[in-house]
Amino acid sequence: MGMTQTKKTDWTLDQLKRELSARKQVRAWIIQQEHTHRRERYFMQEMQSLVTDQDREVRARALEARIMVHLPGRPGRQGEISKKLFNSLPLAPQLDSAIEAALQTDHQAWELPTQIPPQQSPLPTSDPRMAEDLEGAMDELTQQIAASVSRKRDTIFNSAELFLSVHDRELHLSNGLTHRHSQSRAYVESAYSYTRKMADGETRADEYLNARWSVNMDDLKIQQLFDETSERARHSLDVSKPPSGRFSVIVDSEVLATLFNNQVSQLASANAYNGLPFIKTGENLISEAKGDLLTIGLDPHLEYGADTTGLSEHGVTQKPLKLVDRNRVIATLTDKRYADYTGSPVTTSRGNVVVEPGTLSHAELTRQSPHVIEILQFSGLFADANSGTYSSEIRLARLYENNGQEQKVTYLKGGSLSGSFTENFKNARLSSNRVKHAHFSSNSMQGHGYYGPDFALLGDVSIVG
């Protein structure tokens, strides 16, 4: 009896491009392919020693095609769909399904650029230590974690995680453009707990978990992160509920990165076209602003930023762009699609949000009001890009009570905070020190980057204890 042969279904990227070009219904396409090399380590402590609980290596490939199709009998309209394609499955049925789904949609037609941009110098998007030797980079950072854990503390080290990855990407457009670049990502997480016998005789414990993303290994600052996690765990039992009312509130760069990235979306032509909140050039970002007037830009060239890129997904060259100058909006974000829709010039549409710093130190921010609350960690920040509102439960905070030169500091936990960007930034004061912040989600090739003040003091923020 002869052997049964398994039908080979693997196909190449060139085959996909040829197949899309041969389909008469398809008018244009964008292909994004990503190869990921990922290393993961999970740590715990046994017998006063750091041990590796799990050690993994993952190699993965993801491919997504954005397909634009002709809509018969509907001039000026097109169908569009973005679909993940799997190399292990036959190609033709996947394209049939995608094209059929695209034909069920109806969008205003737009064109990819007719000119291919010239070759650019490589941008600093991938830490060479990770790109060239991911295993060596993992071992180097593991040693930093071991050194941080070995420091004598009042707290107990519980666990840590270290994820490193290198993402090699290709962008292929039906206009002939091909663009390749690489990005590195690093993530570290630490958890410490503190145990104490309370006044009522009971023994209580609480854990504090902290995490940080970066593109460059040096930006992780592992020892600083572990010291901060331990210090906050030590204070996690010395807490009371926050008072209710309206307060001056200090938030850190992680919160600012979220709020500013959301607010920048209101400067995009996409919002104007889709009837969402939109701030036109010439208008104030915040009405009646009296604090540090905000100057904001997008920088797609920022060294090791989460959204550092030379080209947009439409194949348009990306350059630094100032959006807001001392609270006055001076530019609109317009990608190629919405430029065609609105008749506006194409501008930079990708990049890291850059915010000019203020003049005050962190210590000076804590003394700007009789009562200042500094949020050390939210339980999970909910921020709405359209309304500019945000809210969360308070995981840990510090209350600064100022009486002349005297300052009393106590810790808070619980209760909730809610606010609005346009209201709470009217009298905002920004710190003079700037930091780089990165955030990535597992389902997106694009990260959110921020380079700006490490702290901001917001005014009149509502807190319910």
Provide the percentage of residues in the chain whose pLDDT is more than 90.
Answer: 90
Tell me the HSE value of 222 on the side-chain side, using a 13 A CA sphere: 24
pLDDT band at 45 (very low <50, low <70, confident <90, very high): confident
Task: Tell me, yes or no, whether 110 and 182 share the same domain.
Answer: yes
Both 347 and 206 in a single domain?
no
- Please check whether residues 262 and 226 belong to one and the same domain: no
**What is the C-alpha separation between 354 and 452, in angstroms, rounded?**
6
pLDDT in tens, 65-83: 999 999 999 999 999 999 9
Q: How far apart are CA 309 and CA 111, in angstroms?
A: 21
Tell me the two tokens of residue 106.
């109806």
Stronger pLDDT, 285 or 120, i.e. the higher one:
285
Supply 218's token pair: 């040096």
Query: For residue 285, what are its two tokens?
Result: 């970002």
Residue 91 belongs to a domain with what CATH number? 3.30.2290.10
Rounded mean pLDDT of 302-325? 96
Range with the largest mean pLDDT of 44-48, 193-197, 433-437: 433-437
Q: Is 157 exposed, middle or buried (0-12, 13-18, 19+ CB in 10 A)?
A: buried
Strands 239-240 and 406-412: parallel
- What pLDDT, on the 0 to 100 scale, is given for residue 8? 56
User: 337: burial class by Cβ within 10 Å (0-12, 13-18, 19+)?
Assistant: buried
Q: What is the mean pLDDT of residues 190-210?
A: 89
Domain ranges, residue 251: 239-464
Question: Rounded CA gap, 271 and 187, in Å?
Answer: 32
Residue 7 counted as domain residue: no
Tokens representing 100 are 């059929």
In a domain, 14, yes or no: no
Instruction: Please indicate, yes or no, whether residues 444 and 325 belong to a single structural domain of this protein.
Output: yes
Q: Residue 438: name the closest of 288, 234, 213 by CA.
A: 213
Cβ 122 vs Cβ 321: under 8 Å:
no
Q: What is the pLDDT of residues 171-196, one digit of tens each?
A: 999 999 999 999 999 999 999 999 98
Residues 230, 253 within the same domain = no
Q: Are residues 321 and 445 in the same domain?
A: yes
Residues 161 and 308 in one domain: no
Tally of domains within the chain:
2
> pLDDT per residue over 316-361, tens digit each?
999 999 999 999 999 999 999 999 999 999 999 999 999 999 999 9
Locate 362 and state its tokens: 């962190």
Same domain, residue pair 63 and 202: yes
9: confidence class by pLDDT, cuts 50, 70, 90: low
- Asked if the structure places residue 372 within a domain, the reply is yes
Distance CA 88, CA 141 (A): 35
Residue 377 located in a structural domain: yes
* Residue 11 belongs to some domain of the structure: no
Same domain (yes/no): 280, 209: no
Which SS3 state, helix, strand or coil, does residue 253 take? helix
Query: Are 411 and 235 spatial neighbours (Cβ–Cβ below 8 Å)?
Result: yes
Beta bridge pairs of residue 108: 77
* Count of alpha carbons within 13 angstroms of residue 158, beta-carbon side: 17
Q: How far apart are CA 242 and CA 245, in angstroms?
A: 9
Same domain (yes/no): 312, 271? yes
Query: What one-character-per-residue DSSP string does 356-401 give?
Result: ---SB-HHHHTTSSSEEEEEEEES--EE-TTT-EEEEEEEEEEEEE
How far lies 424's CA from each of 150, 259, 386, 421, in Å? 42, 11, 16, 5
Same structural domain for residues 208 and 260? Answer: no
Chain centre distance of CA 390: 17
Residue 142 domain-assigned? Answer: yes
Mean pLDDT of the chain: 94
pLDDT at 303 over 90: yes
Last residue of a domain, one of 234, 254, 288: 234
Residue that finishes a domain, picked among 234, 252, 287: 234
What tokens appear for 320 in the block?
Answer: 């630094």
- Write out pLDDT tens, residues 270-280: 999 999 999 99
Residue 334 lies in a domain: yes
**Is residue 174 one of the residues assigned to a domain?**
yes
Q: Give me the pLDDT at residue 197, please.
A: 81
Per-residue pLDDT at 254 exceeds 50: yes
For the CA atoms of the chain, what is the radius of gyration? 25
Do 423 and 354 share a domain, yes or no? yes
End position of a domain, from candidates 234, 249, 281: 234
